[in-house]
Amino acid sequence: MSGKQTNLLQGTLDLLILKALALEQMHGLGISNRIAQITRGTFVVKPGSLFPALHRMEEAGWLASSWGESENNRRAKYYKLTAAGRRQFETEWRQWKTIALAMRSALDAQ
Amino acid sequence: MSGKQTNLLQGTLDLLILKALALEQMHGLGISNRIAQITRGTFVVKPGSLFPALHRMEEAGWLASSWGESENNRRAKYYKLTAAGRRQFETEWRQWKTIALAMRSALDAQ
DNA sequence: CCGCTCATATAGAATTCCTATAGAAGCGTA
DNA sequence: TACGCTTCTATAGGAATTCTATATGAGCGG
């Protein structure tokens, strides 16, 4: 085992998905793998969390999907960011920075 | 208005309460004010979020309460950390560091 | 006595995530 | 062809936490 895994904080999954898709368009399981990679194994998103989130985000207009073929010759649904999705990514990133700063300030207090 | 406020991320409220009480024992609204102070106004915890959390945490054995009198001559319930509460604080603090590190790693990825 | 503030409390809803399960389709191999 | 394994998507049901809104009581000031 490489590192410790934790559960997601509610609200961070969207940001991680948006980040993954900002790097490259991908299918669902690809996103999951990418999140594990960029968080160095800290977050492991299982299908039961991932797919509802993808559907929700597509519904919100942040993602667009199309069926294609995976690198393993499987039927796979590819997602990419819409313009609104890129804006959402920037917004959530900014919010995360605000939160992280506030938590740091709080936890350093004495 | 000083800074931007955000909603809490689910899971951060406990840690903020534990931190506030690690600094000093306080009554409910005092905790709320202290959280606003140490997060520089970023998090403003309203009674409907605070009191259920306090009850839940006391139920979990992390807090102990006793009725007293506030600095404004009001009947107030004072909370302090139990030994288990101090352990929980350390645990959640460590978890937060792990999460913040993973998020930073993810958001810096390219 | 009336309104304001302080302090606690709860109901009900909304959101998000987790566990568990399912199914279809390709791949390797015997 | 039959079988198991992996890949990929999907959903149901539940658990946990936070938000909005409302309520109550008691002290304080005019």
Taking only the tens place, the pLDDT of each residue in A70-85 is: 999 999 999 999 999 9
Per the structure, the count of domains in chain B is 1
Residue closest to sugar C1' of D6 by CA = A72
CATH number at residue A41: 1.10.10.10
d(CA B30, CA B70): 9
Q: Give me the sign of the Cα torsion angle B21, A8, B84, B94.
A: negative
Distance, Å, A76 CA → C30 C1': 30
Residue B50 domain flag? yes
- State the DSSP H helix or E strand holding residue B15, giving kind and residue range, or none if neither: helix B12-23
Chain-chain contact of B6 with A98 (C-beta, under 8 angstroms) = yes
For residue A7, tell me if it sits in a domain. no
**pLDDT at position A69 over 60:** yes
Question: Is residue B6 assigned to a domain?
Answer: no
Residue B2 pLDDT > 50, yes or no? no
Assigned domain for B2 exists: no
- Averaged over B61-70, what is the pLDDT? 96
Question: Which residues in chain B are closer than 8 Å to A99, comparing Cβ atoms?
Answer: 6, 9, 12, 42
The mean pLDDT value for B25-43 works out to 96
What tens digit of pLDDT does each residue of A23-46 get?
A: 999 999 999 999 999 999 999 999
Give the distance, in angstroms, between residue A51 CA and nucleotide D25 C1'. Answer: 49
**Domain assignment of residue B58, yes or no:** yes
More reliable by pLDDT, A78 or B8: A78
Q: What is the pLDDT of residue A59?
A: 95
Cβ B9–A10 below 8 Å, yes or no? yes
Using DSSP's 3-state secondary structure scheme, residue B110 falls into coil
Determine the distance in angstroms separating the CA of B12 from the nearest CA of chain A, rounded to an integer: 8
Mean pLDDT for B28-51 is 96
Question: Does the residue A61 lie in any domain?
Answer: yes
> Which nucleotides of strand D are protein-proximal, with an atom < 7 A from a CB?
7-13, 17-23, 25-28
Which domain, by its residues, includes B50?
12-108
Considering the domain boundaries, does residue A1 fall inside one? no
**pTM summary value:** 0.92
In a domain? residue A40: yes
Q: How confident is the model at residue A1 (pLDDT cuts 50, 70, 90)?
A: very low
